[in-house]
């Protein structure tokens, strides 16, 4: 199964929360973790990486926290993902063909490379704001999981 790195998931949870608070209001890792049941350490590392990438602004101190610094309508999903978890790829041979024992005889190098290119293109065209403002076409997961 292809899935997003957990740090990316928690980064998106944090951004969705921070987008919903009043302008200028800071959010803390503790607050986000308590509200959404996210693990503190992973969420904290994701937010630190977003701050290092200039997506968030980190304010230190007793009344500190994080603020969204970059326009989420301009921030590409690919840039968010790569700032947190590195290069987006479906298989290691896409990044480093020399690192694969089967590369000489593999019959899916071209299809996997093409699929990887399409995935990267999709993530590069979608902004984080596009993702966060997506329409809900399915019932809330809480409803589905508790039926």
Q: What single string gives the DSSP state of each residue in 11-78?
A: HHHHHHHHHHSPTT--B-HHHHHHHHT--HHHHHHHHHHHHHTTSEEEE-STT-EEEE-S-TTTSBHH
pLDDT in tens, 41-67: 999 999 999 999 999 999 998 889 999
Tokens of 104: 């000489």
105 contacts 97 by C-beta, under 8 angstroms: no
Does 138 score more than 50 pLDDT?
A: no
Nearest to 11 by CA among 90, 92, 70: 70
Smallest Cα–Cα separation from 89: which of 121, 126, 124, 120? 120
Record the pTM. Answer: 0.83
Of 27, 25, 26, nearest to 36 (Cα)? 27
- Summarize pLDDT for 69-105 with one digit per residue, the tens: 999 999 999 999 999 998 888 777 777 778 788 888 8
Answer with the residue of higher pLDDT: 74 or 137: 74
What are the chain's domains? 6-145 (1.10.10.10)
- Vertex 25 angle, CA 52 and 14, to 5°: 50
């Amino acid at each position: 199964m292809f899935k997003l790195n957990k740090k990316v998931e928690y980064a998106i949870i944090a951004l969705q929360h921070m987008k919903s608070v009043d302008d200028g209001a800071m959010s803390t890792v503790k607050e986000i973790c308590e509200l959404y049941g996210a693990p503190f350490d992973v969420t904290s590392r994701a937010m630190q990486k977003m701050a290092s990438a200039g997506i968030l602004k980190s304010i230190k101190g007793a009344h500190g926290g994080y603020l969204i610094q970059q326009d989420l309508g301009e921030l590409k999903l690919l840039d968010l993902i790569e700032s947190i978890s590195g290069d987006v790829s479906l298989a290691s041979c896409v990044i480093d063909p020399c690192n694969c024992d089967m590369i000489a005889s593999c019959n899916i190098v071209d299809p996997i490379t093409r699929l990887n290119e399409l995935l990267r293109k999709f993530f590069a065209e979608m902004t984080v704001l596009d993702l966060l403002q997506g329409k809900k076409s399915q019932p809330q997961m809480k409803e589905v999981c508790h039926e």
